[in-house]
Amino acid sequence: MRTADMTSDMKANMRSFTNSLSPSITNMIRMDHTSVLATFHQYEISSSPRTKKALVDTACMALEIHAQLEEEIFYPAMRAADTDGTVMEKSVPEHNEMRRLITKLRGMEATDPEYDQTFMELMRDVLHHVADEETTLLPDAERLLKDRLGELGMEMTKRRMQIAAPRAGEFASNTLRGLPASTMLMAAGAVLAGTYLFRRSNNTHH
């Protein structure tokens, strides 16, 4: 067998192994969607300002990290795969609108008369964005990137840990300000799962 063929086979085997080891990037995106929607569903108009603020800050932090990961890793991979880009043309502007609302919420107190309305506006935008991604973009990705889903998932896991680490104090602050236990456990579980997968992949490669 020629050296070039052996190298190609080794790369294919490594890609197959990586795909089996890591959650796919599309499933990671779906898990992010599920997590932030669960936080939305716990927000109630009648909740205390302390709990509202904790839930809003948690949702906003999760959305910021999620948007950054998609823009750095997922969207470039999709563009390179020659998808028509229709959904992605809307995705970055939608991220920017979410960031605008997040900035607005961070400048408000939970007792502000417009606080609930602003968070509900953010929630509606996110629900629309999630529906577009889950009905069109993620199925496209699973068709166009089927040989790279695990590899990209591992890359996203590694980058998530890098982005989230400096914000650990922010998460702890939200918890202390009255984050409901179920949300706290969900967020903690996601972080622990990401850490486990990242360490497992590093140990495998060394």
pLDDT value for 172:
65
pLDDT value for 202:
53
pLDDT value for 18:
45
**Mean pLDDT for the chain overall:** 81
pLDDT value for 17:
47
- The alpha-helical segments, DSSP class H, found in 108-148 are 115-132, 138-144
Element (H, E) at 5: helix 3-21
pLDDT (mean) for 151-174: 85
pLDDT value for 88:
77
> What is the pTM assigned to this prediction?
0.75
Is 65's pLDDT higher than 90? yes
